[in-house]
Structure 1
Amino acid sequence: MSLLSFLLGEKKKTAAVAKERLQIILAHERSGSRAGQPDYLPALQRELVAVISKYVAINPADLKVSLERQDNLEVLEVKIELPDGGR
């Protein structure tokens, strides 16, 4: 070990720095609730069922709400299976 590297400290290799940064990003992504899904989705789903039920009789299990990340966008997807006859 040279005196200069001892005084200045050894620089980390680029791959090690990139790996460390990736681990930080992954830890941040994983720290979100329920695999990255926001806390408000279950409440949003219940409220949608309540509003739609005012106009059409639906089974709460027939409504699915999900949030997907695509590049820099978040896409909220709502799937509703409506009965044939309605109310």
Structure 2
Amino acid sequence: MGSEVPPAAVTIHVTGFKRFHGVAENPTETIVSNLEQYLKRKGMPKGFILGSCNVLETAGEGAVAPLYLTLKSAVKSLDSESSNLGQTIW
């Protein structure tokens, strides 16, 4: 029908991890590091928004603070947006 509201966009936050003991290169670091540029070239699928791309340390303590900041920034952006929010995927 003509008065239907379009579906809200889905925001995606992508997290990769740096190398860890015994592994020279973590593929998730490469993927996440290149994802933004790739999507700029190829385009984001309709209905999706890239919220963030972050690469974290694999050591538990080294990853806690950056992960917390990432989550906190996403919550702040949710608070400032309209009530017609879509889904958020981490």
TM-score of the two chains, using structure 1 as the length reference: 0.26
Q: Which has the higher contact order (CA 8 A, sep 6+)?
A: 2
TM-score of the two chains, using structure 2 as the length reference: 0.25
Larger % of helix: which? 1
